[in-house]
Chains A and B, each alone.
Chain A
Amino acid sequence: MLVPALAIIVLFTVYPLMDGLRMGFTNRNLLLPSFEYVGLDNFARLPSDEVFRLSLSHSIILTVTVVVLQLILGLILAWAMQQRLPGMAFFKSIIMASWVIPVAATVYMFRFMAQPDVGLINIILRLIGLKDLARYWFGDPLVALPFIILLHLWRNVPFYGVAFLAAMQAIPKSYYEAAEIDGASGWGKFRHITLPGIRDMIIVMVTIHVLWTFNNFDFIYLATGGGPVNRTDVLPVYVYRLSWESYRLGYAASIGTVMVIILLIYFVVYLRIHERPGAAR
């Protein structure tokens, strides 16, 4: 039973990974039949590649900002959903819809809303008298990256909210009652009961989303393709363009390898936190 299990994992992840890493040391081009190993040449070229440097910093800024904002907004949303109020059950049942719809549909939905003349965002801005702010939101070098962050929030914050809510509901009510008898404030209860109670869920959600956001390709590729003038370029999009628009598989794979190394560093830190004595229940 374990043998087929391992075979499946090796076939679909380990093998492509190893072969991908190997390719990072070659000058393979999709259009040329032959290739050779070039040692560390690809990697040596990276520091002087300006698009790579931009993409790297955007990737890190994007991932950190997105995950931190999602965490905070997710907690706020979970807190609201935890209140027993009329209509809340219905709200909870529809709120995760943004997570299930295809990213391509999400992106074109927002591209339409971001249109300079016919987009909803600019229509609203004009209605409230902020006509000067109207623009094509994905096309403006200043706001394109923040707008991409907004898209990530749109898709994932409800997922965080519902996940945190599930974890909150597993915390025994008696903890809160005891705290109230001791005269704990609302914030105190949140800080000392809720947060530790959902600690595991927070770690899981943050970890998954660091990986998903850092590796995410389709949001930015479909929304801006990395533009305007590389202002939204991130590593996955750059790797994709190098592989399938310039056909430079070897160089693309070397950047993919850098991505793996960055994630490995993150992973080691994650294990340190997760396996810390006292962390596991």
Chain B
Amino acid sequence: MSTTSGRIRTAILAYLIVIVSLIFFILPMLWIFYTSFRTQASIFTGDVISPLKDYTLENFATILLVTDFPTYFRNSLEIALVVTMLSLFCSIIAAYGLSRFDIKGKNALIVGIFSTQMFPQVLLIIPMFLVLFSLGLIDKVIGVVLGQMILVLPFQVWMLKGYFDNLPIELDEAARIDGCSIARRLISVVLPVALPGIMVAAFFSFVVSWGDYLIVSIICQSQRTATLTLVVQRLGSSLLIRWGQVAAACVLTIVPTIILFSFVQNRLVEGLTAGAIREE
């Protein structure tokens, strides 16, 4: 039986962990947010707080109006949206097929699917680059999209398969007896029920694509396809780094992911680990 003093001790310890966590995990984000509103001069004073006149919107104004930032933002958005749609289409088909159809050697196949997680992307991208190159897709949106599919698909198929496995098979059975085709069963019976899992899958692919550096650094060669991660890297690696602008670029890169995160946060972990956790 826990005593009152024991409970107080537990609460103090828990709050201590919460405070340390907030400082460690959240403070860096607040700091970059804060920095994005400061002038170069006030950042370089090395002070934490500066006079009110040293706060400014200039960093955002510069990167939005003077640089090509808006173009890159649009590229990022376009690529991430196409990747999300294409990967969802592919992974839903693949995951449903693997989840619902009994074939010989299925277990070996599933181990095989899981093992696709372990292929190093830096290796996969080499043949992928050569294929895209011979197809003339380097520096094209579709080339980037196809490249990013190798980042997204293995995990997405695995997690969605787990999600479908947890849905009652009676659902499909009933629809099959009613004479529905496979496609019809999937679209009008399974998908509506699996919507929470699919939303997490969509979120996952969007965030992976949006944050990808590996593929875009190889396939994007001009501003036609360059994305925000490349801009952040370029701004942050120049000789005289304007940290206010780097911060503003970071903030604009972070904000869309945080907004999307707020829609799925309750279901995120459940969805991500569905591939492994069986409900009994």
Contacts and interface: CB of A to CB of B under 8 A. Distances in A.
Contact of A256 (B35, B115, B120): B120
Contacts of A239: 120, 122-123
Interface string A1-36: 111111011001111110111010000000000000
B120 A260 contact: yes
Interface residues of A, number: 92
B233 A88 contact: no
A252 B129 CA distance: 14
Given A12-B153, A180-B1, A85 B122 contact: no
A204 B276 CA distance: 6
Interface stretch (B8-16, B50-58, B64-72): B8-16
Interface stretch (A40-48, A61-69, A112-120, A141-149): A112-120
B81 to A, nearest CB: 16
B124 A13 contact: yes
Contacts of A253: 123, 126
Interface string A72-111: 0000110110010101100101111110111111001111
Chain B's interface: helix, strand, loop or mixed, by majority? helix
Contacts of A136: none
Instruction: Pick the most buried of B1, B13, B217, B280: most chain A CB atoms within 10 A of its CB.
Output: B217
B163 interface: no
B62 interface: no
Contacts of B253: 101-102, 104-105
A4 B94 CA distance: 7
Chain A's interface: helix, strand, loop or mixed, by majority? helix
Given A97-B29, A102-B228, A154-B28, A8 B94 contact: yes
17 contacts: A5-B94, A9-B153, A12-B149, A17-B124, A96-B269, A97-B26, A100-B260, A100-B261, A104-B211, A111-B236, A113-B31, A204-B275, A215-B120, A215-B121, A243-B122, A256-B122, A257-B123
4 shortest interchain CB distances as A-B pairs: A256-B123, A102-B211, A5-B97, A19-B127
Interface of A: 1-6, 8-9, 12-17, 19-21, 23, 76-77, 79-80, 83, 85, 87-88, 91, 93-98, 100-105, 108-113, 115, 117-118, 120, 123, 126, 154, 157-159, 162-163, 166-167, 180, 200-201, 203-205, 208, 211, 214-215, 217-218, 221-222, 235-236, 239-240, 243-244, 249, 252-253, 256-257, 259-260, 263-264, 266-267, 271, 281
Interface of B: 1, 10-11, 13-15, 17-18, 21-22, 24-26, 28-29, 31-32, 35, 43-44, 46-48, 90-91, 93-98, 100-101, 103, 111, 113, 115-128, 130, 149-150, 153-154, 157, 182, 207, 210-211, 213-214, 217-218, 228-229, 232-233, 236, 243, 246-247, 250, 253-254, 257-258, 260-261, 265-266, 268-270, 272-273, 275-278, 280
